[in-house]
Chain A
Amino acid sequence: MIAHYGRLRRLCRLLLGDPQEAEDVVQEVFLKAHEAEQLGRAPMDWAAWLTRVAVNACRDRRRAGGWMRFRLRSSHIDDLPLVADTPGPGDVAVSEDARRRIWAAFRGLPRRQQEVFALRYIEERATTDVAVALGLSPGSVKRHLYRAVRHLRRALADAR
């Protein structure tokens, strides 16, 4: 189960946009997983179960508005740009402007499209798995994905 820690933290960070909030949500998810295991309700597929619980927890956080307080708070140490001025190997391929535009376009997506894109492309899960995790039909997942892809690609085209 620990193998899922990094994956879930990345997913929650992507959905919430706040590292501290993402960390809190992941702790919450693992607590629920521990409780489920203690109560003998361990799922057959831990990966799918953890993903679904994490997405729901992120959704609850965003709905509660608590994440807004954290985002408006003064800078965390994690938020400070403690990176080298020179571009790293991963940064060479994409310009700073393109990176900003892609992130802004992703944040501009509706919440559901963000979730679908993150699970389908970042988590590399199948359409049916995404549908199960989000409680949607596969057709709905495809439509959300189509809109998200179109929006993000336009943002990338604008950067070129």
Chain B
Amino acid sequence: MSACLSDDALARLHADLASISERAHLATCAACSGRSRQLRRDLELITAVLRDTREPLTRVAPARRRWLPAAVGLSAAAVALLVWVEVAVWRAVTPVPPTMQPQEVAAILSDVSASLFSVSGDPVPGAADDGPLSLESMAREVDSSLTGGEP
């Protein structure tokens, strides 16, 4: 006599997938016949529950919804990583532009001013050294250039 059928084999029998030898065993084994009847009763119970009872409100989340928390978590982690890279890494390796002193700024501006208001194209002599041009001196220069130096 062959060994008794497993639960999977009994399920195969009910799905009409069992082999000839498994069917033959079921026909001769009282224990397996009893288990088969139990399986049929279980299926009747499952069927009755699905057919006659209301589905509980707490349902298993569908596969798509199960991924939602993971997706949200991964997105938050990615955002946090980007922020950390920006704050901690990127700023640490990026050279800070040198800040200029007020005297240097004034010297540069005076050079620019001298170049702009020079008639010959040369810088006004001593202008860069004397500091920024005053409005009066600039007006005198413009006046003299227009009148040819005559008062």
Digit string of B6-26 for contact with A (CB within 8 Å is 1, else 0)? 011001101111000000000
Closest to A78 in B: B54
Digit string of A81-111 for contact with B (CB within 8 Å is 1, else 0)? 1010000001101100011101110111000
Structural contact, A150 and B11, CB atoms closer than 8 A: yes
Size band of the interface chain A makes with B:
20 to 34
B101 at interface, CB cutoff 8 A: no
Structural contact, A94 and B49, CB atoms closer than 8 A: yes
In-complex Cβ contact of B46 among A10, A68, A127, A152 (8 A): A152
Structural contact, B48 and A156, CB atoms closer than 8 A: no
Return chain A residues, CB-CB under 8 Å to B52: 90
Return chain A residues, CB-CB under 8 Å to B43: 121, 149, 152-153
Closest to B14 in A: A149
| A13 nearest CB across to chain B (Å) | 8
CA of A156 to CA of B42, assembled, Å: 8
Closest to B56 in A: A100
Structural contact, A103 and B11, CB atoms closer than 8 A: no
Digit string of B110-144 for contact with A (CB within 8 Å is 1, else 0)? 00000000000000000000000000000000000
**A26-34, A37-45, A47-55, A139-147 - interface stretch:** A139-147
Structural contact, A90 and B53, CB atoms closer than 8 A: yes
- Considering only residues 102-141 of chain A, those with a C-beta below 8 Å from chain B are 102-104, 106-108, 118, 121-122, 127
CA of A122 to CA of B59, assembled, Å: 20
Main secondary structure of the interface of B (DSSP, over half): helix
Residue with the greatest number of chain B CB neighbours at <10 A, chosen from A107, A108, A149: A149
B93 at interface, CB cutoff 8 A: no
Structural contact, B54 and A93, CB atoms closer than 8 A: no
Digit string of A52-72 for contact with B (CB within 8 Å is 1, else 0)? 000000000000000010000
Closest to A139 in B: B17
Structural contact, A100 and B17, CB atoms closer than 8 A: no
CA of A153 to CA of B59, assembled, Å: 18
In-complex Cβ contact of A106 among B12, B42, B50, B64 (8 A): B50
Return chain B residues, CB-CB under 8 Å to A99: 49, 53, 56
Residue with the greatest number of chain A CB neighbours at <10 A, chosen from B39, B51, B54, B55: B55
Structural contact, A121 and B14, CB atoms closer than 8 A: no
Contact A68-B64, Cβ < 8 Å, known A14-B50, A90-B48, A121-B43:
yes
Residue positions of B touching A, CB distance < 8 A: 7-8, 11-12, 14-17, 39, 42-43, 45-60, 62, 64
Instruction: Give 20 new A-B contacts, CB below 8 A, not counting A90-B52, A108-B60.
Output: A17-B59, A83-B54, A90-B48, A91-B53, A93-B45, A94-B45, A98-B49, A99-B49, A100-B56, A102-B50, A103-B55, A104-B60, A121-B47, A122-B47, A145-B14, A150-B7, A152-B43, A153-B43, A153-B46, A156-B42
- What are the 6 closest A-B residue pairs judged by CB atoms, nearest first? A146-B15, A145-B15, A107-B60, A121-B47, A104-B60, A150-B11
